[in-house]
């Protein structure tokens, strides 16, 4: 990123002499699907943005904090001592950085315990017997098996339609194995989330699902499931892509049996907390731009990309503003939300804390898709998926905008404003605005009209690593991490200081 700041400074000075219209005027028009369009905000804040980019290039505090979090705290599932260690450490980190009003908001979180687990596949077809241990991880919130496990024949299905076409007699007493292929995270997680109850409705005694990833490396990916209260609860686990494919092949030849043992269980809820610190606004301290990610992780790997990189990039973004002595008119609130992975209690508690002052929440920015190369900003107030997913593993292309001209006037103006802001991020290649944006932790806010924003990255490898033992620090490139921090810093600062506000879903005419 060295040298980019000088380029941006030159562009800002050029804009200063170009007669660009003031914010909100008819001249500030969005260009659908195009990179950021420079306008009056770039004229006003270009020099500050250049300073932020230059400082971010050499600032090592964020990555150093991420290193400590990964190597010395490690995995931090809700309800564990490691999570509370991370919470206390996060609060002290904010205090040492000079943030104001640092607090830990108490939040009760679930305590799911994985315990010992294993699965073995057995085949006794005409071509000869096969016995093989499966690469598996129990799904979060799953119940366990009885002592000694369960042994049952497998019924393989490619999708829910195939399961629905079966009779209860064809499924009763069996273990359902789903392999829908890879069609993107949003599609595949439906099987992980709801597959157990769909199988139990037909009488299944267990469920295995292909991991939600395109990468075949014998690495299982965990994640949470949701039980339907109307159906029996059955044990459920994810298996590697390779194992799912082998079961699929063998089921075409003859009967396959699986022995599944899981000690998973729920304990009583445990107190944890959302961690918060602020740069208090100089003119409108009651108005807040919230920015952050989730501090909890799964109980595998180090939670480096998901979501250590998110909270530490947000931390660096906010502390850069503080170090540079920039004093926005509104308050910037850094938040490490808790319990995103298996419950969402932190996001709900934060919304409850805001209460009737929801109108003072100017914007909510959540980073929770890893710190790969940033492309720009997702805006969630005019539809589109929250997080469009890369299904190929190749570098992504920024998603274009829908027809902006058909949107309400307030949304059109907000898109133009965001394109103006990201135009200042051209030097780091992050100058696009796309549909969708937000995150699980801020959904309770954005459901009540707070504008939702999130970084967009190339998303080339995030689903190779996340929710696995491979989600470790070495997967986070320091250079790309600092670019993400720089993008967040510029966006948060301008939103907190500019005149006017973005449109959210409510009050925008949608």
Could you list the active site residues?
A: 340
87-95: Cβ within 8 A, 24+ apart: 87/272, 87/273, 87/275, 87/295, 87/336, 87/338, 90/275, 90/295, 90/311, 90/336, 91/275, 91/277, 93/65, 93/315, 94/275, 94/276, 94/277, 94/315, 94/334, 95/277
pLDDT at 35: 66
At 406, the pLDDT band (50, 70, 90 cuts) reads confident
Q: How many CB atoms lie within 10 A of CB 194?
A: 15
Give per-residue pLDDT as tens, 449-502. 999 999 999 999 999 999 999 999 999 999 999 999 999 999 999 999 999 999
C-beta of residue 256 within 8 angstroms of C-beta of residue 120: no
pTM for the full predicted model: 0.90
- Percent pLDDT > 70 in the chain is 88
Give per-residue pLDDT as tens, 293-337. 999 999 999 999 999 999 999 999 999 999 999 999 999 999 999
Tokens read off for 159 = 């999708």
pLDDT at 400: 59
- Out of 4-18, 143-157, 325-339, which region has the weakest mean confidence (pLDDT)? 4-18
Tokens read off for 228 = 């339907």
pLDDT at 8 over 60: no
- Percent pLDDT > 90 in the chain is 83
pLDDT at 369 over 90: yes
At 89, the pLDDT band (50, 70, 90 cuts) reads very high
- Out of 155-159, 241-245, 313-317, 400-404, which region has the weakest mean confidence (pLDDT)? 400-404
Dihedral angle sign, alpha carbons of residues 244, 246, 247, 251: positive
Q: What SS3 state is found at 156?
A: strand
Give per-residue pLDDT as tens, 103-137. 999 999 999 999 999 999 999 988 889 999 999 99
- Tokens 């490898």 -> residue: 461
Mean pLDDT over residues 395-411, rounded? 69
pLDDT at 508: 39
Higher pLDDT: 392 or 92? It is 92
pLDDT at 36 over 90: no
DSSP state for residue 473 in the 8-state scheme: G
Rg for the chain (alpha carbons), in Å? 24
At 37, the pLDDT band (50, 70, 90 cuts) reads confident
pLDDT at 26: 30
Q: What SS3 state is found at 110?
A: strand
């Amino acid at each position: 990123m060295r040298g980019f700041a000088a380029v941006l400074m030159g562009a800002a000075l050029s804009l200063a002499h170009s007669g660009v219209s003031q914010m909100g005027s008819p001249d500030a028009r969005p260009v659908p699907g195009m990179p950021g369009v420079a306008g009056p905000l770039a004229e006003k804040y270009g020099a500050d943005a250049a300073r932020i980019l230059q400082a971010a290039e050499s600032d090592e505090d964020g990555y150093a904090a991420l290193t400590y979090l990964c190597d010395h705290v490690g995995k931090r599932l809700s309800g564990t001592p490691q999570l509370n260690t991370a919470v206390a450490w996060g609060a002290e980190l904010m205090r040492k950085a000079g943030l104001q009003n640092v607090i830990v908001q108490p939040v009760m979180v679930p305590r799911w315990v994985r315990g010992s687990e294993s699965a073995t596949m057995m085949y006794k077809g005409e071509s000869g017997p096969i016995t093989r241990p499966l690469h598996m991880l129990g799904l979060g919130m799953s119940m366990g098996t009885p002592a000694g496990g369960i042994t049952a024949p497998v019924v393989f299905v490619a999708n829910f339609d195939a399961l629905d076409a079966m009779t209860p007699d064809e499924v009763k007493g069996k273990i359902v194995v789903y392999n829908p292929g890879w069609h993107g995270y949003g599609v595949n997680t439906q099987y992980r989330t709801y597959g157990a109850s769909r199988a139990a409705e037909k009488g299944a005694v267990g469920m295995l699902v292909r991991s939600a990833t395109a990468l075949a490396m014998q690495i299982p990916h965990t994640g949470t499931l949701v039980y339907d209260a109307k159906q029996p609860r059955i044990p459920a686990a994810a298996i590697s892509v390779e194992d799912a494919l082998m079961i699929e092949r063998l089921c075409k030849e003859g009967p396959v049996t699986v022995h599944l043992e899981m000690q998973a269980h729920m304990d009583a809820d445990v107190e944890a907390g959302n961690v918060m610190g602020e740069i208090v606004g100089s003119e409108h301290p009651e108005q807040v731009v919230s920015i952050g990610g989730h501090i909890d992780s799964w109980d595998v790997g180090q939670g480096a990309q998901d979501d250590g990189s998110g909270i530490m990039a947000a931390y660096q973004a906010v502390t850069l503003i503080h170090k540079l002595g920039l004093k926005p008119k509104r308050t910037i609130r850094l938040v490490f939300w808790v319990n995103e992975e298996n419950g969402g209690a932190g996001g709900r508690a934060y919304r409850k804390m805001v209460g009737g002052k929801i109108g003072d929440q100017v914007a909510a920015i959540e980073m929770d898709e890893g710190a790969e190369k940033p492309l720009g900003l997702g805006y969630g107030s005019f539809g589109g998926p929250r997080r469009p997913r890369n299904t190929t593993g190749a570098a992504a292309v920024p998603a274009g905008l829908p027809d902006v001209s058909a949107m309400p006037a307030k949304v059109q103006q907000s898109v133009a404003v965001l394109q103006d802001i990201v135009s200042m991020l051209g030097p780091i290649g992050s100058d696009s605005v796309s549909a969708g944006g937000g995150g699980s932790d801020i959904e309770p806010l954005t459901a009540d009209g707070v504008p939702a924003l999130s970084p967009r990255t190339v998303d080339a490898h995030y689903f190779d690593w996340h929710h696995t033992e491979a989600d470790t620090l070495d997967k986070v490139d320091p250079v790309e991490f600092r670019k993400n921090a720089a993008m967040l810093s510029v966006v948060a600062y301008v939103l907190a200081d500019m005149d006017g506000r973005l449109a959210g879903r409510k009050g925008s005419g949608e």
